Amino acid sequence: MSLKSNILELRKRKEEVQKGGGDEAIEKQAQMGKLTARERILAILDENSFHEYDLFVEHTARDFGMETKVLHGDGVIIGTGTIYNKPVCIFAQDFTVAGGSLGLMHAQKITKIMDHSLKMRVPLIGINDSGGARIQEGVSSLAGYGEIFFRNTLASGVIPQISVILGPCAGGAVYSPALTDFVFVVENISKMFITGPGVIKSVLGEDISMEELGGARVHAEITGNAHFYAQTEQECFDQIKKLITYIPWNNEERSLPFPSKPPKKSKKVERIVPADPRIPYDMRDIIKAITDGSEFFEIMEHFAPNILIGFGRMEGETVGFVANQPMVLAGVLDTDSSDKAARFIRYCDAFNIPIVTLEDLPGYLPGVDQEHAGVIRHGAKILYAYSEATAPKITVILRKAYGGGYIAMNSRHLRADFVFAWPAAEIAVMGPEGAANIVFRKEIMEAEDPESMRLQKIQEYKEKFANPYVAAAKGYIDEVIEPEETRQRILHALKVSKNKNVSMPRKKHGIPPF
């Protein structure tokens, strides 16, 4: 007897199930400008590397006529594959099958691949395209979400978790992406919200479209829920594959080393930065002037653009950059930029990626809205994240480092390993203008010409305190360096920090100002 007929039977079954929701539903998906779940997986993974599991899983619902319904794969595809020949776990919700709705078995497939990724210490990529909980399955759907959230939390800081929003992701479903490290969104395709436009309209009378409420741009720019924004699915997949090259596969590995390359930029760093601390420049140019090949892979480009975060390489090794951006809001710290930086610092630390901080900020953003929005607790997140981080921490002060901002931006006092300052750096309790107004208040008020006295006193303060040497005299700065030496100094500091080993007090966990 031959196995031939059994093999043919298997092929037939596979072919049938792999069609997902069938031709009509696939056609609809295409009309919405979306790829199918299977196409997406194949586009992200190396060619011919995808291996699927649980293809024949069937739902177990027995109410509301569900017992007669066949849902292929129960609306989700799971499996393993490789990216640049390194293994990853992946799942993709299939909107063509019952709108990608999440029932018990659907969730069980997802949690199976999640368990796998954690056990094998490989990254997890989740593609979300789902109408939400499968109402017919009732509380089983909720249980499913809960099991997913729990695993997201367990895996956090152990393996990279990437969420790709390629369709609706509404209600409780949004919390899985929110618990993961990086969220990718695509213009016109991604929609994320807790409560949809329909409910908002009926309850609140506010009329808003899905796009305006929770479209890709909203999450990239306003809410800060998304880290990467793309115009098309293909651009999004390219971003994922690029990100993957920068990050370690798990918290016990280093990221893939690349060949060292000098920066491309021929422009001298000292020519990028104007001497007057009140004149802006693009901090990205500085980062690009010191990284390998002048490459800077920016994260959360559109949210809180007054601070920059992202990855670059230094002699082939991944480095996380945190840098004030004088071009936007003068580079101040505020609620959003604090959240943005703090989370990234914690990401880098969890995966032992060295953190390079480039500092040039006038302080915190003043305003009732900031105070009432809780700039105190949000700002505290940066202090917490830097203080707690044991990954190598290097700071370069380019121009301004005033007051609380100086302390927050990875100062010596928060245990920076190396602090360098450029010769024009102003490290002081506050900017000369503010300080002069307070310290010389009386002299200015009583002067015949208060305005010229004020300018004179500002200059006096500037000469005495607005420089790096007061801080250098106290050892708060290790070295005052010439701008052109920046890359070389960072490289050396990284080399010295390679085996950094510090221990923190034993604790279950800290209580960061979430």
Residues that bind another protein (CB under 8 A): 203-206, 221-222, 277-280, 282, 302, 304-306, 326-332, 336, 362-363, 365-369, 372, 402-403, 430-434, 436-437
Q: Which two tokens stand for residue 386?
A: 């830097």
CB of 329 to another protein, least distance (A): 6
CB atoms within 10 A of CB 272: 18
CB of 201 to another protein, least distance (A): 11
Q: Are strands 297-299 and 317-324 parallel, antiparallel or unpaired?
A: unpaired
Give the integer Cα–Cα distance in Å for 227 and 123.
17
CB of 215 to another protein, least distance (A): 14
Q: Given the complex with another protein, which of 464 and 500 has the nearer CB atom?
A: 464
CB of 438 to another protein, least distance (A): 9
- CA distances to 375, 419, 467 from 364, rounded to whole Å, are 9, 21, 20
Strand-pairing partners, residue 396, are 358, 420
Does the CA dihedral 430-432-437-441 come out positive or negative?
Answer: positive
CB of 437 to another protein, least distance (A): 6
Q: Given the complex with another protein, which of 135 and 204 has the nearer CB atom?
A: 204
Q: Where are the alpha helices (DSSP H) in 258-300?
A: 269-272, 283-290
CB of 305 to another protein, least distance (A): 5
Q: Please, is 45 exposed, middle or buried when counting C-beta atoms within 10 Å of its C-beta (0-12, 13-18, 19+)?
A: buried
Q: Given the complex with another protein, which of 282 and 485 has the nearer CB atom?
A: 282
Strand-pairing partners, residue 52, are 79
Torsion of CA 434, 473, 418, 514, to 10 degrees: -40
Q: Given the complex with another protein, which of 229 and 347 has the nearer CB atom?
A: 229
CB atoms within 10 A of CB 15: 9
CB-CB contact of 489 with 481 (8 Å):
yes
Q: Are strands 307-314 and 317-324 parallel, antiparallel or unpaired?
A: antiparallel
In sequence order, what are the residues at sequence separation of 6 or more whose Cβ sits closer than 8 angstroms to the Cβ of residue 141?
A: 101, 102, 103, 104, 107, 133, 134, 135
Q: Given the complex with another protein, which of 146 and 274 has the nearer CB atom?
A: 274
Widest distance between CA atoms in the chain: 112
Q: Given the complex with another protein, which of 232 and 437 has the nearer CB atom?
A: 437
CB of 341 to another protein, least distance (A): 16
Q: Given the complex with another protein, which of 35 and 308 has the nearer CB atom?
A: 308
CB of 459 to another protein, least distance (A): 13
Q: Given the complex with another protein, which of 93 and 306 has the nearer CB atom?
A: 306
Write down the residue that tokens 């931006």 correspond to: 409
Q: Given the complex with another protein, which of 436 and 490 has the nearer CB atom?
A: 436
Give the integer Cα–Cα distance in Å for 229 and 184.
6
DSSP one-letter code for 416? -
Q: Which helix (H) or strand (E) holds 17?
A: helix 4-18
Q: Given the complex with another protein, which of 30 and 204 has the nearer CB atom?
A: 204
CB of 302 to another protein, least distance (A): 5
Q: Given the complex with another protein, which of 1 and 203 has the nearer CB atom?
A: 203
CB of 452 to another protein, least distance (A): 16
CB of 334 to another protein, least distance (A): 8
CB-CB contact of 344 with 355 (8 Å):
no
CB of 288 to another protein, least distance (A): 16
DSSP one-letter code for 256? P
- CA distances to 100, 463, 479 from 214, rounded to whole Å, are 19, 51, 47
In sequence order, what are the residues at sequence separation of 6 or more whose Cβ sits closer than 8 angstroms to the Cβ of residue 401?
A: 359, 360, 361, 409, 411, 421, 425, 426, 427, 428
CB-CB contact of 213 with 194 (8 Å):
no
Q: Given the complex with another protein, which of 145 and 303 has the nearer CB atom?
A: 303
